[in-house]
Amino acid sequence: MPNALVSWFRRRRVARSNRKRASSGSSLMLPPPLLIIDQDPPIPPHLRLPAQRRGRLTPSPSRESLVSATVAATADSAFFTRLPLEIRRKILVEAFGAQTVHMDLIYDHPVLQQPLLLVQDRSSCAFGGRYTRRAHGNLNVRLSTGECDARNLRLDDSRPKEWAWRSSVCHRCRPGEEVQPAEDYCRFGQSPWHLMCWHWPGEWPTKCLIGAMGWLCSCRQAYMEGIDVLYATNTFHTASKAMILSLPSILLPQRLASIASVELLWDFAPFPSIHPEVVKPPLSDMASFRLFLDAVPATFPAARKLHISLQGRLYPTRTVNGLTRWDSSLDRTDEILRPVDELVARLGPHVTDFSLGIPSSLYQQQRDKALKNNDPVEQAHRGQRERHWRPLSEGGGGDGDGDGDGGRTGYWVWLGHKDFTIPYMCTMGEGGYADIIGEDNWVLYRFSDN
């Protein structure tokens, strides 16, 4: 509604302005009024690091004045003068380190603010009773739709779109469990069952936030010790494509050099859509995907653990008798995976753990091919993790992790986003889903109310 009102006001203002100019008695021939089409303006560039920094926060041995100022500022602090550095570091790691954190740069309307509601009855909150189920990080979301994506965020469209940071601690699963990055919905304020935050210690919603800013802003010594813990001990998870491609212009080189673990989600549609009128999101083509892969080694020069998850419309189409539909008979998976193979082959020896996640629609064929070729395959129905080994050369097998010295033999491909959907149904006691779709394939599906 706010957008409609703004568009109506703009049209009225243009029409009134044209009438005034037409009745002003000017002898100039005015062109007819243009048809105003309400379209989003082009996306402005996001903020970047300044060419010249106003001040230096982290001292180096060549900056004696900064070092001396830091020592003087903490001379009366028992925390810095009595506790040894290793104890202080352990405290900071417990406070905001050694976890998965979200870092996304988003261009959109601001999230609609809502009052902070305190929930005292956990059972009524969890099962749709008197209280509304609270979203991750107190984001304002529509939980009634049953889906977890950006459309469910309640945005304040009366305010203009802008670049803004969104960050939080990752609560995509219970503590100690393992859920693939593709199944992470924290940036939408949700988890698959909307209840995961309850299983994490702390008070809601502050336990969903990283909570490092107060410490980093307290003094230079706190910043020096805290910034290293923040970047070097956490796993950074991001799905912001624009940010990934330009991260060196956003973060300082020393910060990128200290990142040891990353999870990158790349959502794209490299092949034509079955609906030509559908406008694909920016950076969804194959050229942008290759730019992304080329940028990864230089952007994260010291990363030891690197996971990339691919998702989106990753299969081609075909037209028969005037009807265009997804072509399941045409396998163009190698057009997507070959560039990943090239990336893995040129990764430095510092990357000791590389893995790829692909959606069910690609994973099933690749897993079956690995089984046929006698490559290592682990399957969930055997009590294992759902993944298979992809050799970099024909006939390669590998030991599962590569040799760590740059001569990699392959990498693990995990089951990522589950884009196969099976509706809820009554099986009448006849074995259940494992018998209906196959014991080895049930893990490929997500459940839906539709």
Q: What is the pLDDT of residues 404-437, one digit of tens each?
A: 445 789 999 999 999 888 766 555 555 566 667 7
Confidence (pLDDT) at 399: 43
* Residue 34 predicted with pLDDT over 50: no
Q: Mean pLDDT over residues 192-221, rounded?
A: 86
Residue 328: exposure state from Cβ atoms within 10 A (0-12, 13-18, ≥19): exposed
Quick one: what percent of the chain has pLDDT higher than 70?
A: 70
> What contacts 323, CB < 8 A, 6 or more positions away?
none
At 194 the pLDDT is 61
Q: Taking 80 as the threshold, does the pLDDT of residue 395 lie above it?
A: no
Of 120 and 135, more confident = 135
pLDDT for the residue 211: 92
Residue 166: what residue type? R
Q: What are phi and psi of 312, to 5 degrees?
A: 120, -160
Q: What is the mean pLDDT of the chain?
A: 80
Q: Which residue has the tokens 């998965």?
A: 100
Q: Report the range of poorest mean pLDDT among 70-79, 133-142, 226-235.
A: 70-79
Q: Where are the alpha helices (DSSP H) in 195-349?
A: 213-216, 220-233, 241-245, 253-258, 286-299, 333-346
**Does 279 or 402 have the greater pLDDT score?**
279
Model pLDDT, residue 72:
60
Q: What is the pLDDT averaged over residues 437-446?
A: 86
Closest CA to 107 of 144, 160, 153: 160
149 SS3 class: coil
**Per-residue confidence (pLDDT) for residue 369, from 0 to 100:** 94
What pLDDT is recorded for position 24?
Answer: 47
Predicted pLDDT at 48: 85
Distance from C-alpha of 370 to C-alpha of 400, rounded to nearest angstrom: 13
Closest CA to 411 of 372, 376, 446: 376
Domain ranges within the chain, ordered by starting residue: 1-39, 84-238, 243-418
pLDDT, average across residues 66-73: 57
Strands 235-238 and 410-415: unpaired
Cβ-proximal residues to 67 (8 Å cutoff; 6+ apart), any chain: 59, 61
Segment holding 93, helix H or strand E:
helix 85-96
- DSSP per residue over 58-85, as a string? S--TT-HHHHHHHHHHTTT-HHHHHS-H
Q: Give mean pLDDT, residues 106-124.
A: 66
pLDDT of 161 reads: 92
C-beta of residue 140 within 8 angstroms of C-beta of residue 153? yes
Mean pLDDT of 441-449: 78
pLDDT at position 38: 43
The confidence score (pLDDT) of residue 136 equals 87
Q: What is the largest CA-CA distance in the chain?
A: 86
For helices 220-233 and 64-73, angle between their N-to-C axes, nearest 10 degrees: 100
Q: Are 290 and 337 in contact (CB under 8 A)?
A: no
| Predicted confidence band of residue 368 (pLDDT cuts 50, 70, 90) | very high
pLDDT at residue 377, rounded to an integer: 97
Strands 353-358 and 305-312: parallel
Threshold 0.85, pTM exceeds:
no
